[in-house]
Structure 1
Amino acid sequence: MLKALKKMFGKAEGEQPQPAPTPATPVQAKAGDQEKPGRKDKPSRKPETSAAAQEGQARPPKADKPRRERPAKPVNTWKLEDFVVEPAEGKTRFHDFKLAPELMHAIHDLGFPYCTPIQAGVLGYTLKGQDAIGRAQTGTGKTAAFLISIITQLLQTPPPKERYMGEPRALIIAPTRELVVQIAKDAAELTKYTGLNVMQFVGGMDFDKQLKQLESRFCDILVATPGRLLDFNQRGEVHLDMVEVMVLDEADRMLDMGFIPQVRQIIRQTPMKGERQTLLFSATFTEDVMNLAKQWTVNPAIVEIEPENVASDTVEQHVYAVASADKYKLLYNLISQNDWTRVMVFANRKDEVRRIEERLTRDGISAVQMSGDIPQHKRIRALEGFREGKIRVMVATDVAGRGIHVDAISHVINFTLPEDPDDYVHRIGRTGRAGTSGTSISFAGEDDAFALPPIEELIGRKIQCEMPPDELLKPVPRKH
């Protein structure tokens, strides 16, 4: 009987069961190779649908990646009736747009009953699939505006039945690592009930760890800095021909930082404009920004929020006339005598940032520095310590400070005035966020007082220059 059963299942007596064959390691396709199994059923791409194809550029070959079943959406017993927001004159509710219950649940969790002006203005166009250009300062809610548009598009349009792991459906490009991390965090909060996957790629962090994300799950929303995204793209790990929505955040800063050649390379790998939705956000609408927008968008809606009011009404602004040699004494005494607990200090150069942070730490005030020289893992740890209140002072350059969104920053101090007046507006926008009040104090020394008149011209008003009281110029006590 036993022999008969073994024979029935194809095993002779004494035979050992053979192990299951191990799948072959994926290899890069070479010229002349025959098509590899598992790729012949890959949906074909029309060459004319990519911007690269239009320019006759070759894209990196796609490596075979394992396909996996999409994760099931989390069970959601929440109902829209649980989120009651009464209509209010002059305010737009998220209920006024047709948003998925899963998305509304996340918005409810975040405590956002009404749209900010930029959200109300942008969503009216982008939810209909239109390209858009938005001008708004940081802290106005523009990140949520484009994330809600992306999530709605991805939920309304089913993904292809077959796709490769490294093919994002939405792409967000931002100029700084901190801004990428913040956008990805916001995206994770808004997608937590949707089953959509969010990934972030930034330089300064372990490449292999970021690569493992792509090998473990599909990428729906990818947030990245231009350089690191190109690294993945040129290695054939990330392909952008399935991008349905592309967002360029802080386009003016990308211009200033020289990222536009890299951004052009990235955009050439995406579908042509008109076959993808493109959203571009900038704090300023310079001629260069608008020229880029014309190249990359089709009949975009232009949404400007209070363009004349470049400095927040919720921020009280002061300028102290002080000799350069006395600036540190003034900074130390302001923080220590007033017992401030969450302060951002801006300086123009990395070496200034380092010296200020070192002196504050030596003199007993907990501080961290934030500049391009700091490794990414240390920057993230420093930002979390500052956000949690464990660190009182963050000292930053403009590049590092642009993407920092921390609630309850009570004071912003400009140790040196910025050469670009727009940077002043961004700096003081770190405080007075979300309707709260804040204070900015600028130190005008003999070396940087010339920067004050252009700032006053930009914000449309004079800032009274004061002499600091004597008690704020007392010598810093020596620590034993």
Structure 2
Amino acid sequence: MLKALKKIFAKGDAAPPIAASQPEPAPQPAAAQAPERQAGKPRPKPAPKAKAEPQAAVQVAQPPRAESPAKDKPRRERKPKPQASLWKPEDFVVEPQEGKTRFHDFKLSNELMHAIHDLGFPYCTPIQAQVLGYTLRGQDAIGRAQTGTGKTAAFLISIISQLQQTPPPKERYMGEPRALIIAPTRELVVQIAKDAQALTKYTGLNVMSFVGGMDFDKQLKSLEARHCDILVATPGRLLDFNQRGEVHLDMVEVMVLDEADRMLDMGFIPQVRQIIRQTPPKSERQTLLFSATFTDDVMNLAKQWTTNPAIVEIEPENVASETVEQHVYAVAGSDKYKLLYNLVTQNKWERVMVFANRKDEVRRIEEKLVRDGINAAQLSGDVPQHKRIRTLESFREGRITVLVATDVAGRGIHIDGISHVINFTLPEDPDDYVHRIGRTGRAGTSGVSISFAGEDDSYQLPAIEELLGRKIKCEMPPDELLKPVPRKHH
């Protein structure tokens, strides 16, 4: 019965080709266990889940099963009800406008419209308008879009609508999410989960996020405390939970893969394949895949994991060039740090992001800035997660002036008010240039990007210009920006 409710449309394709050799065995146990869940028997779990049954003594084991709907209901309705009763759809008036799509133009629930209203989104971005046209009808989709185009809200609105329209089964375990979002970096997972919480504010749906580098037991406790509706996770940490028997993916109705190109680059695809094998076949789930680029590898994965997907492409050039003023300084490698220091101090900039290609470069730049009296911090794969989150909050609140990051750490950071992005070294992949400068000039504000082209990296410029479709003028920095850095005496 659940299968029938999950998909109103019938996707004729069989399970993904990759499922034929290895994946086939994995969904089998999941399907085999479904009748046990219907019959109300406890699900067989590995050792960690054995603790969940003794909950009878400590918390509530069998009672939560019987009481689950009743127990969840107060939590689901208590918060939204009072506010929802004061808000009416008539409070959200958006006039139709030529060439623009309103959220009113889609059939969205009042609870979801209330949250969209709170967030101040009257009109859809181009990718939201196009993607929602397909996904709200249950179709799979592949979207090409950079960060900052509104794609996160596009797939979250689609997920929330699906979960609201299809009632959850009466019997389910805490660790059985109905929607799964996989993203490559911890920062991106945290950001998506934050956006999901804002959009589910009045729906009673529970959002959880799992990332490596954070307390496993703490994440486990939140999982055991309430049902998980939407799970956002990095591949490695999700597999940890899945292999320990804490998370089961056989009830996933909607699966989203965000930044598929980055997951390929970071070597996550074997882990992602393992995860997808645990979910229902592609004909019985909705799959949405987003990527900044449509390489052959990305499209090959999309074919394996989706059924008759709608393909939506949003050109990155508009995102890159319209709101960001771009400069390139031709500078010797030995003068790059002097130029950075003088730009920040002489102009009294307060919120600057600096990108470098390697972790050791990032560390060295940050150490020099701190030594020379500038409030700076670094973000790279070596920084523990709790410290990364603290660093981002300090940067957001203005306690840190300069944030130095690698591309992996900087991807998906959404912080308003970043006035300048500096490319200390030009990226090897032109798409990363667009991602980097997209950290400034967000939400219609203007921003400035300055790239340092030295003897080691200036050869990257032609490929970047080709992607942008225009030349970027190369300038010599004025002499005052190359003055020696005054030494601080501590």
Quick one: which of 123, 128, 138 aligns to 2:137? Answer: 128
2:206 alignment counterpart: 197
Distance in 2 (alpha carbons) for counterparts of 1:56 and 1:203: 28
Quick one: which of 358, 366, 378 aligns to 2:387? Answer: 378
CA drift at 1:92: 0.7
CA drift at 1:312: 3.0
Answering whether residue 266 of structure 2 is matched by residue 262 of structure 1, we say: no
2:126 alignment counterpart: 117
Answering whether residue 158 of structure 2 is matched by residue 154 of structure 1, we say: no
Quick one: which of 188, 195, 207 aligns to 1:179? Answer: 188
Answering whether residue 447 of structure 2 is matched by residue 438 of structure 1, we say: yes
Change (3 A) 1:49 1:216: farther
| One-letter code aligned to 1:72 | R
Query: 1:310 touches 1:458 (CA, 8 Å); kept in 2?
Result: no
CA drift at 1:49: 9.0
Q: Give the 3-state SS of the residue equivalent to 1:311 in structure 2.
A: helix
Answering whether residue 322 of structure 2 is matched by residue 318 of structure 1, we say: no
Distance in 2 (alpha carbons) for counterparts of 1:192 and 1:85: 21
CA drift at 1:365: 1.2
Q: Give the 3-state SS of the residue equivalent to 1:72 in structure 2.
A: helix
2:76 alignment counterpart: 72
2:25 alignment counterpart: 56
Distance in 1 (alpha carbons) for counterparts of 2:443 and 2:319: 16
TM-score, scaled to structure 1: 0.88
CA drift at 1:54: 6.3
Distance in 2 (alpha carbons) for counterparts of 1:120 and 1:54: 34
1:471 alignment counterpart: 480
Deviation per residue, 1:404-446 (Å, 9 max, x gap): 1111111100001111111111111111112111111000111
2:355 alignment counterpart: 346
1:103 alignment counterpart: 112
Distance in 1 (alpha carbons) for counterparts of 2:111 and 2:339: 50
Query: 2:426 touches 2:433 (CA, 8 Å); kept in 1?
Result: yes
| One-letter code aligned to 1:135 | R
Distance in 1 (alpha carbons) for counterparts of 2:338 and 2:110: 54
Query: 1:200 touches 1:223 (CA, 8 Å); kept in 2?
Result: yes
Q: Give the 3-state SS of the residue equivalent to 1:161 in structure 2.
A: coil
| One-letter code aligned to 1:408 | G
CA drift at 1:311: 2.7
Query: 2:180 touches 2:255 (CA, 8 Å); kept in 1?
Result: yes
Answering whether residue 251 of structure 2 is matched by residue 242 of structure 1, we say: yes
Q: Give the 3-state SS of the residue equivalent to 2:321 in structure 1.
A: coil
1:166 alignment counterpart: 175
| One-letter code aligned to 1:55 | E
Q: Give the 3-state SS of the residue equivalent to 2:76 in structure 1.
A: coil
Query: 1:106 touches 1:192 (CA, 8 Å); kept in 2?
Result: yes
Deviation per residue, 1:125-148 (Å, 9 max, x gap): 000000001111110100000000
Query: 1:312 touches 1:432 (CA, 8 Å); kept in 2?
Result: no
| One-letter code aligned to 1:112 | F
| One-letter code aligned to 1:433 | R
Query: 1:329 touches 1:475 (CA, 8 Å); kept in 2?
Result: yes
Change (3 A) 1:289 1:105: same
Distance in 1 (alpha carbons) for counterparts of 2:186 and 2:379: 11
| One-letter code aligned to 1:472 | L
Structure ranking higher in helix proportion = 2
| One-letter code aligned to 2:257 | L
1:447 alignment counterpart: 456
Unaligned runs of 5+ in 1: 1-41
Q: Give the 3-state SS of the residue equivalent to 2:97 in structure 1.
A: coil
2:8 alignment counterpart: none
Deviation per residue, 1:105-141 (Å, 9 max, x gap): 1111111111000000100000000000111111010
Answering whether residue 97 of structure 2 is matched by residue 88 of structure 1, we say: yes
Query: 2:178 touches 2:228 (CA, 8 Å); kept in 1?
Result: yes
| One-letter code aligned to 1:201 | F
Aligned length: 435
Q: Give the 3-state SS of the residue equivalent to 2:284 in structure 1.
A: coil
Query: 1:348 touches 1:398 (CA, 8 Å); kept in 2?
Result: yes
Query: 2:251 touches 2:279 (CA, 8 Å); kept in 1?
Result: yes
Query: 1:134 touches 1:302 (CA, 8 Å); kept in 2?
Result: yes
Query: 1:321 touches 1:467 (CA, 8 Å); kept in 2?
Result: yes
Distance in 1 (alpha carbons) for counterparts of 2:323 and 2:344: 21
Query: 2:211 touches 2:233 (CA, 8 Å); kept in 1?
Result: yes
Distance in 2 (alpha carbons) for counterparts of 1:55 and 1:312: 46
CA drift at 1:72: 3.0
Distance in 1 (alpha carbons) for counterparts of 2:173 and 2:15: 18
Distance in 2 (alpha carbons) for counterparts of 1:277 and 1:247: 8
Query: 2:423 touches 2:450 (CA, 8 Å); kept in 1?
Result: yes
Q: CA RMSD in A?
A: 1.9
Deviation per residue, 1:42-66 (Å, 9 max, x gap): 99xxxx9996996123659534644
2:148 alignment counterpart: 139
Query: 1:312 touches 1:429 (CA, 8 Å); kept in 2?
Result: no
- Per mean C-alpha deviation after superposition, the further-off stretch among 59-68 and 462-471 is 59-68
Query: 1:197 touches 1:219 (CA, 8 Å); kept in 2?
Result: yes
Query: 1:59 touches 1:269 (CA, 8 Å); kept in 2?
Result: no
Distance in 2 (alpha carbons) for counterparts of 1:333 and 1:339: 9
Deviation per residue, 1:387-414 (Å, 9 max, x gap): 1111111100000000211111111000
Distance in 2 (alpha carbons) for counterparts of 1:308 and 1:432: 14
| One-letter code aligned to 2:410 | G
Deviation per residue, 1:214-261 (Å, 9 max, x gap): 110000000000000000000000000000000000000000000000
Q: Give the 3-state SS of the residue equivalent to 2:282 in structure 1.
A: coil
